[in-house]
Structure 1
């Protein structure tokens, strides 16, 4: 490729990562001159989530919660939700991570729906759950709820 841009590099990183080609990702990343937050996020995703998926590390509730929390903190709520949805045996910590993730990014309705879903499946809310729900309402302008 004659004109290698940050976008093309990041696209290649993403493709290699999704296919579990982690050594190739590392070499390509090392060759890049300029790196932005997007390519760093791709690398974090690659050395965490793809590594877990491609190396037989089981995604139990603790690993799944850590991945969902990481995605939420990076603003990748779709990926967080995908991990959350496939987790079995979700505990209050897993639910809290998603509620907080939605809440801090302004998705109040989604966060409150998760709160209701959590109660429906009889996972007992903790004090952190209530703080997360209240914080969500403040961030999303849903104080009346």
Structure 2
């Protein structure tokens, strides 16, 4: 569901790429600046959550309940987490190689980037009127400053 949303998101934000392409979708190689792709990923995931608040809160509850149920296909486990972080690490490495991003541990930075996205449905439970456009702007600014080469 989110991957198809991010495929559609690319028409407005060409730098974004979904983690996994839905069947029958053409592979789009990374292009442009890594910072643009990171921004598109952040804003795309937050926009998806904004449009699916109830579903994402329910999904997070399911993931939390199944967290320790190894082998359950519905559980968000280490393989899924590694795939998500690997996607982000690829963007970060590309930015480092081009000189766009400073030197840092890509796994640590990828985890730091992903966690505010994963925890957003929980935040929405305590702050249901949170302006997610403003949230996206702040998260984008935060990671622009954290990754930018000086």
Q: TM-score, normalization: structure 1?
A: 0.28
Q: Which one has a larger percent helix, Structure 1 or Structure 2?
A: 1
Q: TM-score, normalization: structure 2?
A: 0.28
